[in-house]
Amino acid sequence: MRQHRASLLVVAAALTPALLFTTPAFAAGSTAAPAATSTVAAATFDKPVDEMSEDELRAAIAAILVDEKSGKGVVREANEALNGTVDDMRAFLKTGYRLAQAEDDRVAILTILNGAQKNGDKRVIAEINGLLDRDSPEEMRAWLETGYRLAQAEDDRVAIFTILNGAQKNGDKRVISEINGLLDRDSPEEMRAWLTTGYRLAQAEDDRVAIVTILAGAQKNGDKALIAEINGLLDRDSPEEMRAWLVAFRSA
């Protein structure tokens, strides 16, 4: 299974833009993806799939299609069932839906794994490797609905404490203040959002303050080359460029 994983990750990475909506959202009020069982569709009509009329079968499959959390595999198989016979539609609701959902879940999990490996998210990586080794569709579905959020939250806390440690050494007041607020509120969704966008903005503010402080010293010392370099940085105003410059300056 693990030897197979590298090639699967390449496929998952290629499909990432189309699969973003199939992974659990870290947003307040987000809902879990529908359970991958035939009873989901059947429950709408309060009767077993075998007793549903053709119209009811079509309505049940249409409801799956319009669900924004349905992935490419589910959409593909649902459309094929709708274009087939009544027996094809029954087969999809009984077994095909579960199998297609499992296919989408594997791709979603491999996509998450790809990002986790880039970020060094140890808990997420360990849990995903276990899921892929056991290869249980039900366990993968449950993990995407609840386990991923908890594992990512643990990794995010570790990342935030690591950032806080560096910020305290460098005196990055905005970053320290925002992290302390995050830790007090202890919201996994808020921590995830901050790591995705808020950290960059807070760090950029602290970096500007640090760079302007360095500029003031350079002006006192008449260091024309350094003054020109910093003025160029401030004119371009790129958070990434300022961060890289400041790290290099401090390590020189």
Domain ranges of the chain: 2-156, 186-251
pLDDT above 90: residue 33: no
pLDDT bucket at 183, cuts 50 / 70 / 90 = very high
What pLDDT is attached to residue 252? Answer: 87
Residue 10: predicted pLDDT: 36
Average pLDDT of the segment spanning 152-180:
97
Query: Does pLDDT of 56 surpass 50?
Result: yes
> Looking at the whole model, is its pTM more than 0.85?
no
As a whole number of angstroms, the distance between CA 60 and CA 41 comes to 5
Nearest to 118 by CA among 12, 204, 245: 12
Please state, in angstroms and as integers, the Cα–Cα distance from residue 150 to each residue in 61, 192, 209, following that order.
31, 11, 35
Is the predicted pLDDT of residue 225 greater than 60, yes or no?
Answer: yes
pLDDT at 35 (0 to 100): 38
Asked if residue 213 lies in contact with residue 240, where contact means CB atoms within 8 angstroms, the answer is no
What's the chain's average pLDDT? Answer: 85
pLDDT at 31: 32
What letters, b where the CB count within 10 A reaches 16 and e where it falls short, cover 161-172? Answer: eebbeebeebeb
- The confidence score (pLDDT) of residue 46 equals 66
Instruction: pLDDT band for 112, please (50, 70, 90 cuts).
Output: very high
Question: Based on C-alpha coordinates, what's the Rg of the chain?
Answer: 25
150 or 38: which leads in pLDDT: 150
